[in-house]
Amino acid sequence: MSLNTAHFGAGTFNKRLVARKHRRGGGKKNLMASLSLTSMVDMFSLLVIFLLQTFSTSPELLAITKGVELPTARTGLEIKDAPVLSITQELIYLDQKEIGKTADLMKNPEPLMDKLAELRKQWVQSHPGEAFKGEINLQAHRDLPGTWISQIMGMLPSQHYGSISLAVVGGSSGG
């Protein structure tokens, strides 16, 4: 049995495939419904823009240092984006970095003053041409003596930190 190569030429083979497709109904045009994704993409774009603007205008909550129980207050203001000075009964932290023991720093505040001066210099170098605002957030344990807190608040202006915000927890002040 010999095959006739002329019978299976490229042109006749394509014609046979097309003919078979037409016999099975494959030649009919299929209606394909398509979705217009433009509206959905626009909606998601607006949602992303809204979320970015919402979260960029409200600063992050302060990370409360371990060992600090903040006092409660009935009123308060929005948290500013500023360095955080945390005072526990045992230790003092500046931006989550331990400075030293609270009792030792109350007797000799030089290490704390040096760190505050260093932080101010870094800020001035990273913001050339801008005036230093002197903002700082103070987290103090609610059971600390008021004299210690006022003493530290009195030291801060000597390092040009004049805008001091005391961190509190919202709620009732009784109790």
56 is a domain residue: no
Q: Report the C-alpha gap between 149 and 106 in whole angstroms.
A: 10
Q: Which of 2-11, 142-151, 156-165 has the lowest mean pLDDT?
A: 2-11
Burial class (CB in 10 A: 0-12, 13-18, 19+), 161: buried
Q: How many helices (H) and strands (E) does the chain have?
A: 5, 7
Residue 149 lies in a domain: yes
CATH, residue 129: 3.30.420
100 in any annotated domain: yes
Secondary structure E strands in 24-134: 72-73, 84-87, 91-94, 97-101
Kindly report, residue by residue over 31-89, the tens digit of the pLDDT. 566 667 788 888 889 999 888 877 665 455 455 666 666 666 666 666 777 888 888 88
Tokens of 9: 């030429």
How many separate domains does the chain show?
A: 1
83-125 confidence digits (pLDDT tens): 888 888 888 888 888 889 988 988 998 999 999 999 999 988 8
Give the range of the structural domain holding residue 78, as residue numbers without chain letter. 72-170
Query: Within 10 A of 112 (CB to CB), how many other CB atoms are there?
Result: 22
